[in-house]
Structure 1
Amino acid sequence: MNYGLYIGIFVAFVILISSFVTVKQGTIAVVTVFGKYRRLLRPGLSLKIPLIEAIHSRISIQNRSVELSFQAVTQDQANVYFKAMLLYSVLDQQEETIKNVAFKFVDATNLMQALIRTIEGSIRAYVATQRQANVLSQRHEIVEHVKHQIDPVLESWGYHLQDLQLNDITFDEEIMRSMSKVVASHNLKAAAENEGQALLITKTKAAEADGNAIKIAATAEREAAQLRGQGIALFREEVAKGMTQAALEMESAKLDISVILFTMWTESIKQFAENSEGNVIFLDGSTEGMNKTMREMMAMQIDKLKNGN
């Protein structure tokens, strides 16, 4: 009798204990009665009917991630290797959504297999319409295409695609080498163009500087020539004034004006002799030649005096 009481007390204790259920934070428990959905249990301590209600599954509402690694073929028959990271979660915490998640697939393994294969198929279908040269620059377009194609399917399963990151996109080794050569050739071309532009700018600036220097030198030379011409003109003017004054004085003194010309002739010969610096100057020193020169100089002087008067 005592053993039966102890057994009864033990069974009652076990039943009482089994009526308490603890649900962790970030998890929702799905309760069934004889295999049929009954209700949900939220995080915390809850009660259930012992031996009648059972915990069918515990659904995590936290974000979950999975890594993908697969191959696709482009339109021009190039193999592309993808490594991606998928982030997904339960769509929301509403009862219908949780029921869908709990009973849509047999278990989590089947869900994961369907999810991975669906995403891989969507990416392969997109890559098959693109050429190999365009794939690397279309990461964003690929992700947007997958989200657009996958979101309706996942929502029908009770899930939502949070993010898809294509961490690595590679090709066959031969294609990678050819792509590296193309990039290197483009870089060399760009470097040559930049060097040519720099050289053109340098040459242009140097030519502009030379042109400006020539202009400045020409301007300075023109101004110097003008000053030299003005100086010579002033010198000649003063000489003419002096000679005119001397001629007038000699004429008033009734002296022969040819004396001035003879003096200029002798002074010129003297200057030639003193400052010739090794040069040879031939002068006609004969009486006839001297008379001819004197007559020409006197004629020139007479013309100047007439023009001056």
Structure 2
Amino acid sequence: MGGYLIVPVLLVLGFFLLLGTFFTVKQQTAAVVERFGKFTSMRHSGLQLKIPLIDRVAGRINLKIQQLDVVVETKTKDDVFVRLKVSVQFEVIRSKVYDAFYRLQNPHDQITSYVFDVVRAEVPKMKLDYVFEKKDDIAIAVKRELNEAMLDYGYDIIKTLVTDIDPDVQVKAAMNRINASEREKTAAEYEAEAERIKIVAKARAEAESKRLQGQGIADQRREIARGLEESVDVLNNVGINSQEASALIVVTQHYDTLQSLGEETSSNLILLPNSPQAGSDMLNNMIASFTASAQIGEEMKRARAEKEKKERPRKRIDTSRIDLEESEDTEDFDA
């Protein structure tokens, strides 16, 4: 009876010994094998063998590139508290798996400590605006410090990135107000420049319009004067003198004006006086004013000429007196 029990027990023990002999290692992973607590070998991916009850797998190390995100809160040079998120990408060096497994207890804590140390040494040297501009410099400084420290422990720092910069809420609100004010100022400057361009263009257009209007009026008056001259010449050729011709032209223009006003049904213009003698009266008044001004001019010239005649003998007398006085002074000096 006892012999029958030994066989199953041996089979079970053999099965468990067989399971303890074989083990597998995943891709991009290294297994550390110890014998009675002492490092024996490093096993890589695939099916591996070990001595059961003597050898054991002490641990496994991930050989893939890993990422650790570290959030650091610090103060800038202008006394603004800011939170920086630094992402560190690292991997275990295959030739230094022993150092990575035995020399460093917790690599994540070690990397976090170095990131805190570097960031809190670099950021307080910068103002907040420069922190945003120089984030690449901060990342480079973190990578340089980590490479020097972690290389001895079997870790290689692939890349460090400053992925987020988060100032205090009130500081962000103030920065947004500043940016909004700057943009409003720029918009106001552009709007003012556009308005100035419109005003200048409008002024130039008005000036050109006035110039053309003046030129048109001048041309119109020139043509009117030329037509009047031709009309007077024609009337003189048929025996009508200049005064009668002027009267006839004025009367003709007067009635032409009345006719044009009668054609405009919507016009509110009233011509005063509006009588048949209006044209001749206006011409007579003009001729009388011209004659009177000419007579006044002649009288002024005549008065000026008489005044000059009266002043000439006085100047001669004064000149003779001066000559006499000079001769007397000369005689006294000779004596």
Rate the CA distance shift 1:270–1:209 in 2: closer, same or farther, 3 A.
closer
Rate the CA distance shift 1:173–1:273 in 2: closer, same or farther, 3 A.
closer
SS at match of 1:170: strand
Match of residue 91, structure 2, among 89, 92, 114: 89
Partner in structure 1 of residue 98 of structure 2? 99
Task: Answer yes or no: is the 8 Å Cα contact 2:92–2:154 preserved in 1.
Answer: yes
Match of residue 239, structure 1, among 234, 238, 242: 234
Rate the CA distance shift 1:129–1:10 in 2: closer, same or farther, 3 A.
same
Cα deviation, residue 130, structure 1: 0.8
Match of residue 120, structure 2, among 112, 121, 124: 124
Counterpart-to-counterpart distance in 2, 1:88 and 1:205: 65
Rate the CA distance shift 1:6–1:180 in 2: closer, same or farther, 3 A.
same
Task: Answer yes or no: is the 8 Å Cα contact 2:88–2:160 preserved in 1.
Answer: yes
Cα deviation, residue 81, structure 1: 1.9
Rate the CA distance shift 1:67–1:238 in 2: closer, same or farther, 3 A.
same
TM-score, normalised relative to structure 1: 0.69
Bigger relative contact order (CA 8 A; separation at least 6) = 1
Partner in structure 2 of residue 178 of structure 1? 174
Task: Answer yes or no: is the 8 Å Cα contact 2:22–2:47 preserved in 1.
Answer: yes
Structure 1 stretches lacking a partner, 5+ long: 247-259, 290-309
Match of residue 78, structure 1, among 80, 99, 109: 80
Task: Answer yes or no: is the 8 Å Cα contact 2:232–2:245 preserved in 1.
Answer: no
Match of residue 20, structure 2, among 9, 18, 21: 18
SS at match of 1:282: helix
SS at match of 1:50: coil
Cα deviation, residue 58, structure 1: 0.8
Match of residue 145, structure 1, among 141, 147, 150: 141
Task: Answer yes or no: is the 8 Å Cα contact 2:136–2:161 preserved in 1.
Answer: no
The amino acid across from 1:171 in the alignment is: P
Cα deviation, residue 114, structure 1: 1.0
Residue identity over aligned pairs, in percent, reads: 22
Tell me, yes or no, if structure 1 residue 197 matches structure 2 residue 196: no
Cα deviation, residue 165, structure 1: 4.1
Structure 2 stretches lacking a partner, 5+ long: 255-273, 292-335
* More displaced stretch, 216-225 vs 124-133: 216-225
Counterpart-to-counterpart distance in 2, 1:38 and 1:219: 111
The amino acid across from 2:204 in the alignment is: E
Query: Equivalences for 1:27-38 in 2 at 5 Å?
Result: 27-38=29-40
TM-score, normalised relative to structure 2: 0.65
Cα deviation, residue 13, structure 1: 2.8
**1:227-257 Cα deviation digits (max 9, x unpaired):** 5566556x269639x72xx6xxxxxxxxxxx
Counterpart-to-counterpart distance in 1, 2:196 and 2:37: 85
